[in-house]
Amino acid sequence: MPGTWQPLANQPAFNASTMLLLTDGSVMCQESGGTAWWRLAPDEWGDYTNGTWSALAPMADSRLYYASAVLADGRVFVAGGEYHNGAQVDWNLAEIYDPVADAWQSATTPGWTHIGDAPCCVLPDGRVLLGSIDDTRTALYDPAAGAWSPGGDKDDASSEEGFTLLPDGTVLAVEDSAAPKAEKFLPWSNAWVSAGQTPVPIVETNFSIEIGPCLLRPDGTVFQVGGSGHTAVYEPDGDPATPGNWTAGPDFPDNPPGQILKANDAPGCVLPNGHVLCVAGTAPDAGGFAQNGQFFEFDGKLLDAAPAPANAVGNVYEGRLMLLPTGQVLYAQGSPAMEIYTPVGDADDEWRPLVTDVEDELQPGHVYVLRGERLNGMTQAVAYGDDATMATNYPIVRLVSEDGRVHYCRTHGHSTMAVATGRRRVHTSFTVPAGLPHGRYDLRVVANGIASREVEVRVY
């Protein structure tokens, strides 16, 4: 059964593009192509549909279509921009946002002439892997040191590609300029190795080298949405250095009169039930970007139609999906009209975070360490490709009072940014909001919209 859409009660007064989930449970949204950022916070009952907007500090540089990530310390990293001040220049500067100080500061770069719409991925150890759109180089950013080091050379340039973190710590990339090949990055050897070949054309080649989102599912398989209208499924081998196996996935349906739907630049999201919510639209066979998005849920075998929000008009590439701590999905389509998708179905208990150790008496304004299993979730959950990296594989701590009011604690200092960590013990730190009323609360850890079982705590 498909889910349902509902518009926000308080629509923003700006056109939204990149969206990032902050570790305090709020969502920061960029005003498309500019320097302004806004924050969406849920209401006192944890409802994002009735949430409120407030202005955040602006960036120094305007940018559109760029690398972005929430770091293990809770800060936000952005680099590049295909567009800067409205011009297509493949901007090469970077900035970091501190949500506690509500301030941006410039960050170092690899020294490349262009960064543009480069793909990126936060590795399990917290470093950021960045691909070059001009050549086969990659670079590694250490947020703690604020410094870059060379990464291994790829088989092809990273232009238009997406990077997907796998449970074994490797990073998968389908090669856009050398299709149908795929490759994987091995962080421990700083090297790229073959990941085989896709069995069907995934990269659109008659108009561009665009591709759709690539998403790890909780069962360990990877669903690659094609810019061509085809899809493929990847399953890693037991040995991370071996290619793994690809099989053809279901095609998007034809759109009369006989044109296949395409996702040549489009968002995707793994729902708490394990399905992948994705978008495809109509595009002429002669070439062109897909428009007027139609939504689908992939359950591991079938690609079933899902309802589309009222605002899914225009270019599909302008769409953004963001998985919320409630398990709902926020959708923006390059306009002030935003909607929230409520999916049907529950998460498997084996996917839930597990709290094994946390203080049961908390004080407002104090910092505590929480230990457990699967705190980073089973997947990065949110993907697009090169233009909007917005992964959510980090723990969110939620406190619910006896009368049902919801309060989020800011998390930081995650011990890992890996996914699907299984029974391995991991930890994070969280700060209890200042001024939080005294009383009994149910504490839960949320990862990718999936909540742990509650742990009773008291704030005094």
Name residues whose C-beta falls within 8 Å of residue 410's C-beta, 6 or more positions apart in sequence. 22, 23, 24, 74, 99, 100, 430, 431, 433
DSSP 236-255: --SSTTS--EEEE-PPPPEE
pLDDT of 362 > 90? The answer is yes
Average pLDDT over residues 372-384: 98
CB atoms under 10 Å from CB of 91, counted, come to 24
Are 390 and 20 spatial neighbours (Cβ–Cβ below 8 Å)?
A: yes
427 burial level (CB within 10 Å; 0-12, 13-18, 19+): middle
Model confidence at 288, pLDDT cuts 50, 70, 90, reads confident
Q: Tokens representing 375?
A: 């705190």
Could you read off the pLDDT of 81-101 as tens digits, one per residue? Answer: 999 999 999 999 999 999 999
Q: What is the pLDDT of residue 156?
A: 98
pLDDT of residue 45: 98
pLDDT at 385 over 80: no
What is the pLDDT at residue 286?
A: 67
Stretch 267-295: mean pLDDT: 91
208-255 tens-digit pLDDT: 899 999 999 999 999 999 999 999 999 999 999 999 999 999 999 987
Are 227 and 263 within 8 A, CB to CB? yes
pLDDT in tens, 244-274: 999 999 999 987 777 789 999 999 999 999 9
pLDDT > 90 fraction of the chain, expressed in percent and rounded: 93
Q: What is the largest CA-CA distance in the chain?
A: 66
Closest by CA to 162, choosing from 419, 388, 418, is: 388
pTM of the model: 0.97
Handedness of CA 409, 26, 386, 162 (dihedral sign): positive
Determine the average pLDDT of the residues in 308-335: 94
Task: Say how far apart CA 436 and CA 454 lie, in whole Å.
Answer: 19
The helix (run of H) or strand (run of E) holding residue 289 is none
Q: Strands across the sheet with 67-70, in order?
A: 67-70, 76-79, 94-98, 103-107
- Look at residue 153 in the predicted model and tell me its pLDDT: 98
Percent of the chain with pLDDT over 70: 99
Average pLDDT over residues 430-448: 98
Token output for 186: 């091995």
Compute the distance between CA of residue 420 and CA of residue 406 in angstroms, rounded to an integer: 27
List, in sequence order, every residue forming a beta bridge with 174; answer none if it has no partner.
Answer: 182
Instruction: Look up residue 156 and give its amino acid.
Output: D
Q: Which pLDDT does position 32 carry in this prediction?
A: 94
Residue 172: what pLDDT? Answer: 98
Q: Is the pLDDT of residue 287 over 80?
A: no
CA pair distance 49, 326, nearest whole angstrom: 11
Q: Mean pLDDT, the chain, as a whole number?
A: 96
Average pLDDT over residues 10-26: 96
Domains, the chain: 4-342 (2.130.10.80), 349-459 (2.60.40.10)
User: What confidence score (pLDDT) does residue 111 get?
Assistant: 97
pLDDT (average), residues 385-410? 96
Q: How confident is the model at residue 330 (pLDDT cuts 50, 70, 90)?
A: very high
